[in-house]
Amino acid sequence: MGVILTAKNLQKIYGMGEVKVEAVKNISLEIEKGYFYAIIGKSGSGKSTLLHLLSGFDKPTKGTVKIGGENIHKMKDKRLSAMRREKMGFVFQSYNLLPEFCVEENIRMPLYLNRAKTDKGYIRSLMEKLGIYELRLKFPSQLSGGEQQRAAIARALAARPDIVFADEPTGNLDQQSGGDVLRLLKMMKEEWGQTILLVTHDMEIAQAADKVIEIRDGMVVGRGA
């Protein structure tokens, strides 16, 4: 189905002077449209850093990331924000739900920002599939960690993004809810040809992915189908 994202010679160095950390060392990747990728590796290996570079959340020290043929780190901020809002969904390690809005408002937020029409049936089915429909009028501070995580996942999927970037999206969930999230992501991929890039420690999740990218010490050491 073609390549949706290309990364070339990506490098990320944190810090300056004596305390530099080279978190990503010369990574080149091609992400094919419509596949579910798992990014695996030990704690501290550079997975989150890589995901932040690929999603335009952070700038690389060197190298390029192209999405749909355009270098995202060369774009004007406004254009990158629009692209991230319209085409990408994010579930990061901190959920970043807005505390002054209820669950359902948080989930609809990307649609408000895009001035997109809300498909009520779709938003409801997302909440139902993630087991948070009953919680839709509560505020983030009234939810458990796992419930907040599920709300953040619903928010990431609300605008039906082309690419979903997820960092340990099931890290706080029990096996049942983790399985529900996984099934939902796979279903969305099948239905809309969504591309998923998901960081995980969980080998069961990695096995459910179409392709696995293994990171060690800031480098790609393995690629599996």
Ligand X SMILES: Nc1ncnc2c1ncn2[C@@H]1O[C@H](COP(=O)(O)OP(=O)(O)OP(=O)(O)O)[C@@H](O)[C@H]1O
Answer whether 209's CB lies under 8 Å from 220's CB. no
Answer whether 3's CB lies under 8 Å from 167's CB. no
Tell me the closest approach of the beta carbon of residue 189 to Mg ion, in angstroms: 23
Q: Which of residues 17-36 bind ligand X (CB under 6 A)?
A: 21, 23
Q: Identify the CA nearest to 167 among candidates 74, 43, 82.
A: 43
Q: Does 15 bind ligand X (CB under 6 A)?
A: yes
Contact residues toward Mg ion (CB under 5 A) are 48
Q: Does 14 bind ligand X (CB under 6 A)?
A: yes
Tell me the closest approach of the beta carbon of residue 82 to ligand X, in angstroms: 26
Of 40-48, 73-81, 128-136, 169-177, which part binds ligand X (CB under 6 A)? 40-48
Burial, 127: exposed, middle or buried (Cβ in 10 Å; 0-12, 13-18, 19+)?
Answer: buried
Instruction: Enumerate the β-bridge partners of residue 67.
Output: 5, 70
d(CA 139, CA 152): 13
Q: Which of residues 45-74 bind ligand X (CB under 6 A)?
A: 45-49
d(CA 93, CA 172): 10
| Contact partner at residue 31 from Mg ion, ligand X, none, CB < 5 to 8 Å by partner kind | none
Residue count, binding to ligand X (CB under 6 A): 12
Tell me the closest approach of the beta carbon of residue 99 to ligand X, in angstroms: 24
Binding region for ligand X (CB under 6 A):
14-15, 21, 23, 41, 43-49
